[in-house]
């Protein structure tokens, strides 16, 4: 079966004061129709840039992005605009991503206006439908402004706006990290429900592995612009192959005092993406690193059962 | 029983707003013994930060403080600005969520540490600079002498937080208040910083208040936990006891709403419906009642007090505590 989305050898570089920052370097991944792929990594690892490059909001430096058999990197103008209806994005900061001076009804209807739905009654009908679907009462919200809503409600509004054109593919970029725990669970449940109802395929970007686990069929782990590991969610949690995945798992604070917090999580911090280490980019923090890790860039290798890791000395 | 280092007695904080007074903290009682660690857990707006600001006497000007805060036997509200200045640093220190708010962006790290040591401990410049480098090394900053010459923006978020901790620890405080110290940091860095705080707290026999929204953060690293909701402490117990047996439905719901690492993907999370009440419109009964599945008429009409009916050292404010 051909995947809905396929990213091949994607590179995104930024020029910063005479230097080249390679935010995404040579990343390849696929997302099957109906699947949720979780993309995990720490700040600055390039996960958001990757998401934006998929949507062509940031043009990749090289590589290919194929969606439903069509190459997106060469699309522009009207063709790209039409394609974008099928791919949508939900942002982290739900309040900042809504125009503070426009009414909720207009915010949610805007994609329809842009898509050329001229019938006002038709637009209102669809706005009401999607607002109801995300758990809001249209009569109570249509005429109000974003500041009248809490973070969780604004995120519901953002989701409604992303879904109104009935896209096939939605990128959720840290959709719950600005929300309180009790609200976070509501929004995660809502995303799962919307996925079923609208038959969505999701790329779910987050730094929190526990959150990613709750919604993802497979998980991809990124570090300093490169993929470390990709695999089915449960497998990755039970038997991480890349030491960085293992470190991320160990660092999750577990709400159970009988589980001792990992004593002395390996120290160090991610190096500057302007000067990534030679060979394996994780080697400066890796307890297993040796000369080979400094000399050779590890390729993503198939470990069986859908698990791939880019490591010279995998844990399994 | 040791004399408490900090005792918070019936403390309330009211903030005037355009929509009427906002009850940020509502009659909170807490005690903390020397060398102990108290976790305060709650979601945004529950009053945990306002409570810590009341302890530090750093409340907004228009805020009205009620009740009494005793620190090492002294009534904080009665101290003069000069007495407070002498207290903050040597006895009472704080680490905030965003280290950029506590570090001065136009001064080098060295200047900021040296200033603190000179002002509070009367060290001369050279001694203070040497001590500064030692402190940076103690909080795990590589090549400390070099770092002393750098500005905050030249450091990563995790490094800045280490510097903020070094400054907070520089005068050997008796109590450190850490207000969401790792919320702005990545998960691997979070674990390092929490380890660092725990290590220094033990080594210095320093009391610590760890304020967080994350039950996972307090679980392995506190002696006692107080859970706050809508300005009140709704449950308080020794950490092990609390996690073994949560009595207040809110605490249990908060834990249940966290995605579990041992649950398979696509497990529906038991979310808490609704959201916290408007703090300018206090409810007559239990503040959690509108979201609580056990709530009845009593809960809606009468406010439950924090009590320990079984004398087990575990307190809860609930008419229908969980078994």
Q: Give the residue from B222, B243, B269, B270 with the most A CB atoms within 10 Å of its CB, the best one to mutate.
A: B269
Average the pLDDT over B46-60 and give the result.
94
pLDDT tens, position by position, A19-37:
888 999 999 999 999 999 9
Q: What is the mean pLDDT of chain A?
A: 93
Average the pLDDT over A265-279 and give the result.
82
What pLDDT band is residue A187 in, cutting at 50, 70 and 90?
very high
Checking if the pLDDT of A260 tops 80, the result is no
Checking if the pLDDT of A141 tops 90, the result is yes
Across the interface, whether the CB atoms of B259 and A247 are under 8 A apart is answered: no
What pLDDT band is residue B110 in, cutting at 50, 70 and 90?
very high
The backbone torsions φ and ψ at residue A234, rounded to the nearest 5 degrees and listed phi first, read: -65, -40
Interface check A26 vs B, CB under 8 A: no
B179 contacts B52 by C-beta, under 8 angstroms: yes
What pLDDT band is residue B98 in, cutting at 50, 70 and 90?
confident
Checking if the pLDDT of B1 tops 60, the result is no
- List CB contacts (< 8 A) between B272 and chain A: 182, 185-186
3-class secondary structure per residue, A122-142: HHHHHHHHHHHHCCCCHHHHC
Query: B314 CB contacts (<8 Å, ≥6 apart)?
Result: B235, B236, B237, B238, B241, B242, B245, B247, B308
Q: What's the angle, vertex CA B33, arms to CA B30 and CA B36, rounded to 5?
A: 100
Looking at chain B, how many residues does it have?
A: 323
What is the sign, positive or negative, of the torsion defined by CA atoms of B211, B134, B151, A247?
negative
Residue A314: per-residue pLDDT: 96
pLDDT tens, position by position, B257-301:
999 888 999 999 999 988 889 889 989 999 999 999 999 999 999
Checking if the pLDDT of A244 tops 60, the result is yes
Checking if the pLDDT of A267 tops 70, the result is no
Nearest CA in chain B to A38: B265
Across the interface, whether the CB atoms of A182 and B159 are under 8 A apart is answered: no
Checking if the pLDDT of B111 tops 60, the result is yes
Per the DSSP assignment, residues forming a β-bridge with A24 are A12
Across the interface, whether the CB atoms of B195 and A182 are under 8 A apart is answered: no
Nearest to A267 among B140, B187, B264 (CB): B140
Interface check A95 vs B, CB under 8 A: no
Query: A254 CB contacts (<8 Å, ≥6 apart)?
Result: A261, B216, B219, B220, B261
Task: Chain B: give the shortest CA distance to residue A212, in Å.
Answer: 9
Across the interface, whether the CB atoms of A210 and B215 are under 8 A apart is answered: no
Alpha-carbon span B291 to B274, nearest angstrom: 6
Alpha-carbon span A24 to A50, nearest angstrom: 6
Q: Which A residues 146-185 touch B at CB under 8 Å?
A: 150, 152, 180-185
pTM for this prediction: 0.91
Residue B186: per-residue pLDDT: 83
Residue A264: per-residue pLDDT: 56
pLDDT tens, position by position, A91-136:
888 888 899 999 999 999 999 999 999 999 999 999 999 999 999 9
Task: Chain B: give the shortest CA distance to residue A277, in Å.
Answer: 17
What pLDDT band is residue B47 in, cutting at 50, 70 and 90?
very high
Alpha-carbon span B117 to B128, nearest angstrom: 6
Average the pLDDT over B69-74 and give the result.
95
Checking if the pLDDT of A175 tops 80, the result is yes
Nearest to B186 among A42, A181, A182 (CB): A42
Across the interface, whether the CB atoms of A251 and B187 are under 8 A apart is answered: yes
Average the pLDDT over A200-225 and give the result.
95
Checking if the pLDDT of A163 tops 80, the result is yes
Across the interface, whether the CB atoms of B188 and A42 are under 8 A apart is answered: yes
Whether ipTM tops 0.90, in short, is: no
- List CB contacts (< 8 A) between A181 and chain B: 43, 213-215, 254, 257-258
Residues B98-107: contacts with CB under 8 Å, at least 24 apart: B98/B184, B99/B152, B99/B157, B99/B160, B99/B161, B99/B163, B99/B164, B99/B184, B100/B152, B100/B160, B102/B164, B102/B167, B103/B152, B103/B160, B103/B163, B103/B164, B103/B167, B104/B152, B105/B151, B105/B152, B105/B153, B106/B151, B107/B151
Checking if the pLDDT of A221 tops 60, the result is yes
Percent of chain B with pLDDT over 70: 99
Residue A200: per-residue pLDDT: 97
What pLDDT band is residue A177 in, cutting at 50, 70 and 90?
confident
CB atoms within 10 A of CB B102: 18
What pLDDT band is residue A17 in, cutting at 50, 70 and 90?
confident
Average the pLDDT over A173-182 and give the result.
89
What pLDDT band is residue B318 in, cutting at 50, 70 and 90?
very high
pLDDT tens, position by position, B123-178:
998 999 999 999 998 888 888 999 999 999 988 888 899 999 999 999 999 999 99
Residue A263: per-residue pLDDT: 58
Average the pLDDT over A278-302 and give the result.
95
Across the interface, whether the CB atoms of A189 and B269 are under 8 A apart is answered: yes
């Amino acid at each position: 079966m051909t995947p809905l989305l396929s990213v091949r050898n994607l590179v995104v570089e930024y020029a910063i004061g005479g230097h080249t920052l390679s935010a995404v370097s040579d990343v390849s991944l696929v997302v099957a129709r109906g699947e949720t792929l979780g993309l995990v990594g720490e700040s600055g690892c390039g996960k958001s840039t990757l998401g934006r490059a998929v949507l062509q909001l940031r043009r990749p430096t090289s590589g290919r992005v194929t969606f439903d058999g069509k190459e997106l990197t060469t699309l522009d103008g009207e063709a790209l605009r039409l394609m974008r209806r099928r791919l949508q994005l939900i942002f982290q900061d739900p309040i900042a991503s809504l125009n503070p001076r426009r009414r909720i009804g207009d915010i949610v209807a805007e994609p329809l206006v842009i898509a050329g739905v001229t019938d006002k009654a038709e637009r209102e009908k669809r706005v009401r439908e999607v607002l109801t679907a995300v758990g809001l009462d249209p009569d109570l919200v249509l005429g109000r402004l974003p500041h009248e809503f809490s973070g969780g409600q604004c995120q519901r509004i953002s989701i409604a706006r992303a879904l109104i054109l009935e896209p096939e593919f939605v990128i959720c970029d840290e959709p719950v990290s600005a929300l309180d725990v009790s609200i976070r669970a509501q929004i995660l449940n809502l995303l799962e429900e919307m996925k079923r109802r609208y038959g969505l395929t999701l790329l779910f970007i987050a730094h929190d592995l526990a959150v990613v686990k709750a919604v993802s069929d497979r998980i991809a782990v990124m570090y300093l612009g490169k993929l470390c590991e990709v695999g089915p969610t449960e497998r990755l949690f039970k038997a991480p192959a890349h030491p960085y995945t293992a470190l991320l798992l160990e660092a999750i604070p577990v709400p159970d005092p009988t589980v001792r917090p990992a004593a002395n999580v390996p120290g160090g911090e991610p190096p500057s993406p302007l000067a990534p280490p030679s060979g394996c980019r994780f080697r400066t923090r890796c307890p297993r690193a040796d000369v080979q890790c400094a000399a050779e860039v590890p390729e993503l290798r198939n470990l069986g059962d859908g698990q791939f890791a880019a490591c010279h000395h995998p844990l399994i | 029983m040791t004399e408490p280092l900090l005792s918070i007695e019936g403390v309330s904080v009211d903030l005037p707003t355009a929509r009427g007074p906002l009850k940020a903290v509502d009659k909170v009682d807490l005690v903390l013994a020397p060398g102990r660690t108290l976790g305060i857990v709650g979601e945004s707006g529950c009053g945990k930060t306002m409570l810590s600001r009341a302890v530090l006497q750093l409340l907004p000007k228009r805020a009205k403080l009620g009740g009494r805060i005793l620190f090492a036997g002294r009534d904080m509200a009665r101290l003069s600005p000069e007495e407070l200045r002498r207290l903050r640093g040597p006895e009472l220190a704080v680490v905030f969520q965003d280290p950029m708010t506590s570090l001065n962006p136009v001064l080098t790290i060295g200047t900021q540490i040296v200033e603190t040591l000179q002002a509070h401990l009367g060290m001369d410049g050279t001694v203070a600079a040497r001590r500064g480098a030692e402190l940076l090394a103690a909080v795990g900053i590589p090549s400390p002498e070099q770092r002393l010459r750098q500005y905050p923006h030249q450091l990563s978020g995790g490094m800045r937080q280490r510097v903020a901790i070094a400054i907070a620890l520089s005068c050997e405080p008796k109590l450190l208040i850490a207000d969401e110290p790792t919320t702005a940091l990545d998960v691997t860095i979070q674990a390092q910083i929490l380890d660092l705080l725990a290590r220094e707290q033990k080594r210095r026999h320093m009391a610590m208040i760890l304020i967080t929204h994350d039950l996972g953060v307090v679980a392995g690293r506190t002696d006692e936990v107080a859970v706050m909701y809508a300005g009140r402490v709704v449950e308080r117990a020794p950490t092990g006891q609390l996690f073994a047996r949560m009595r207040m439905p809110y605490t249990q719901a908060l834990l249940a709403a966290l995605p579990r690492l041992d649950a398979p993907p696509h497990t529906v999370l038991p979310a808490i419906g609704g959201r916290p009440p408007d703090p300018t419109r206090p409810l007559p009964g239990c503040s959690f009642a509108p979201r609580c599945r056990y709530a009845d008429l009593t809960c809606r009409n009468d406010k439950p007090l924090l009590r320990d009916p079984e004398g087990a050292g575990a307190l809860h404010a609930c008419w229908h505590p969980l078994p």
